[in-house]
Chain A
Amino acid sequence: MTAKELEIKAYEARLLILEGVHCAKAGHPGGSLSCVDALTTLYFDEMKVDTANPRDPDRDRFVMSKGHCAPALYAVLAVKGFFPKEDIRLLRSIKGHMSGHPDMVNVPGVDMSTGSLGQGISAAVGMALAAKHNGKTYRTYAIMGDGEIEEGQCWEAFMAAAKWKLDNLCAFIDVNGLQIDGATADVMPSAPLDDKLRSFGWNVIVVPGHDYDAIRHALATARITKGAPTMILLETTKGKGVSYMENSVGWHGKAPNDEQYEIAVKELTAHLKELGVE
């Protein structure tokens, strides 16, 4: 896919993220909007998955380690065709199966149930380790948050991935710089993430997180890197694509009201129009 085609998919997904969170009157738009470009690139340009056979044992795996960004995962899975786009309207609803955090049992295409921060990356390590053990060539991907990595379990997982030289594992950290209580730099400084991860034995690539070609290039580099897992640090804007949500800590876990939703749809639709989508 071209960068432009990926961008169209990502903006379709953005519309679904907003629709889901607005319908639910709850959810996490900020971090969903910051990671959705990488997620779209994964599902439309990188990963081998089959919407008709979501549990194909040879498929590539994805773990949304920052599980509160389920709206982004569900949206991209819907755009990809794992389930009807209308299902996103059931996000967080008692009437449906689209629970507030990723649910591998009930949502087609979800490879791991997540939501409790720090746990998804361990499961991803387990999937990559199982691939090596079973002699399989599938790859495992994960997206983490830059707040999430404050959980100590992440660093346990980082050590383990390096120990077993999991070059079939590629994780992202969505470095949007914000978490619930404020800037990550204030809540719990984690910089320099690149140096820390390199010292943990990872191949680290820093990319502009909304640049599809840059993400794609990093993924290609990860694929040919041998003997070490790859971490792609995505420099992103929280709330990317909706003007009033961008870089605003308040939009971490809040749904837009009707008026705000209308503005968001207008902005995203206008962008799609610029891309040639009517």
Chain B
Amino acid sequence: MGEKKATRAAYGEALAELGAKYPNVVVLDADLAQATMTKHFAAAFPDRFFDCGIAEANMTGIAAGMSTCGLIPFTNTFAMFAAGRAYEQVRNSIAYPHLNVKVVGSHGGPSVGEDGATHQCNEDIALMRTLPGMTVVVPCDANEMRQAVEAMINYNGPCYLRMCRYAMETVTDEIPGYKFELGKGVTLRDGMDVTLIATGIMVQMALQAADMLAAEGISARVIDMHTVKPLDEELVLKAARETGAIVTSEEASVIGGLGAAVCELLSEKCPVPVLRHGVNDEFGRSGTAAAVLEYYGLTPAGIAEKARKALSLKK
């Protein structure tokens, strides 16, 4: 396994690196360049960096306008403000005309930690997923993030990229021939008893949960579902048919996100027990990231527990 790095850090580096290859990429930030890591791009390409101040709604609209003129804008702020505060700007100015803007929400989920509930956005995946034509991506590690950013640049349409503050080890670099493809989940580990479908930093935890389950004689498949929308339906259906029980895991609300997407698909096409692991219907709280994740059960043990329950429901 690779080094521990927060996806936001990998994003900042990738953006600065890819900036040289893609001259149409421009970066907008809302006074958070130090936190969203766009500071690297700003240093490398000062003429292509636009600090819009603490005005996310306007930043979103400016990006929409720029995209109509052939540029590929990346807007950057915390997930709370990207998907929450500016939701309606993303909907009406970007998603409705299907403009080529990449909306990047950093500090997604409770692993924001100390800042507490006002800044821990658990709803962004759900909010962005409801928008017609919106692609929603939640990379799990530095390697995946770098490839995801390039894939988004090469895709012509609106995207929401969610990243988080918490550093996790890189795991996808160990997959032989790993290549990020929008809308295609990755089976990180095979298994036949139950499938753990995770996104973002829960992917690494799902791998650890699979180890815990293996010690109990349970064979758990692990899927890295970096693209929550469009969902890789084929991969999910295959897992449902072959393992007969599913656990979804996301560092976000269990309402409306990856878990919901998987339930929506399987209830219609292949009903099997699906248990959703994530933040229940409640707000977050302050604490260190590790303490907050532990408090809400966003741990390998939390996933393993759901897996055992899913197995017990299996016919």
Q: Which chain A residues have a beta carbon within 8 Å of chain B's beta carbons?
A: 57, 61, 63, 103-105, 111-113, 115-116, 118-131, 133-134, 136, 152-153, 156-157, 159-160, 163-164
Contacts and interface: CB of A to CB of B under 8 A. Distances in A.
A158 to B, nearest CB: 9
B92 A116 contact: yes
B71 interface: yes
A157 B61 contact: yes
Nearest to B86: A153
Contacts of A159: 53, 55
Interface stretch (B35-43, B44-52, B168-176): B44-52
Given A116-B88, A119-B89, A122-B60, A160 B55 contact: yes
B62 A122 contact: yes
17 contacts: A57-B69, A104-B97, A105-B98, A112-B68, A118-B57, A119-B64, A119-B92, A122-B60, A122-B64, A126-B73, A130-B65, A130-B69, A133-B47, A136-B69, A153-B89, A156-B55, A159-B53
Contacts of B63: 126
Contact of B58 (A103, A112, A113, A156): A156
A129 B97 CA distance: 20
Nearest to A164: B50
Interface in B62-110: 62-71, 73, 88-89, 92-93, 96-98
A258 B298 CA distance: 64
B57 A123 contact: no
Interface residues of B, number: 30
Nearest to B50: A129
Contacts of B97: 103-105, 112-113
A54 to B, nearest CB: 12
B26 interface: yes
B71 A160 contact: no
A122 B75 CA distance: 14
B62 A125 contact: yes
A130 B92 contact: no
Contacts of A122: 57-62, 64-65, 89, 93
A153 B64 contact: no
Contacts of B70: 57, 130, 134
Given A112-B64, A122-B93, A130-B65, A157 B58 contact: yes
Most buried by A among B57, B61, B64, B70: B61
A134 B61 CA distance: 18
Contacts of B96: 113
B64 A160 contact: no
A204 to B, nearest CB: 20
**What 7 A-B pairs have minimum CB-CB distances, sorted nearest first?**
A126-B65, A122-B61, A156-B58, A123-B65, A130-B69, A156-B55, A126-B62
B184 to A, nearest CB: 27
Given A105-B98, A113-B96, A134-B71, A126 B66 contact: yes
A120 to B, nearest CB: 8
A127 B93 CA distance: 13
Contacts of A134: 69-71
A130 B71 contact: yes
